[in-house]
Amino acid sequence: MPNLTIDRIAIRTAAKISTHLDGMISALPEDAAPQLAIELVVRELAKRQPLLMSLIMEDSVIREAYAAAVAEIPGGNPVAI
């Protein structure tokens, strides 16, 4: 049985990250590429949170969780920016 405290914390954190990413994208100049901004965020996080970013990018269990989450999206694909 999953730990409900961990679930709540993870869901709350994901919501905050999502809100901040939406804010970042909306604050970009009109001609800016959101993909470049995300790339820069990933590069910065790799410096600030190397262990966590290594897990996100390389851990097979986390990659499987991502694939499962994408499969739950209607149409099976993340929406393009």
∠ Cα 76 15 77 (to 5°): 10
Find, among 40, 48, 18, the residue nearest to 10 by Cα: 18
3-state secondary structure of 76: coil
CA dihedral over 69, 74, 75, 78, signed as positive or negative: negative
For the chain, residues with pLDDT lower than 50 are: none
pLDDT at 4: 83
**Residues contacting 8, CB < 8 A, separation 6+:** none
Q: In the chain, what are the domain boundaries?
A: 4-72
pLDDT at 78: 66
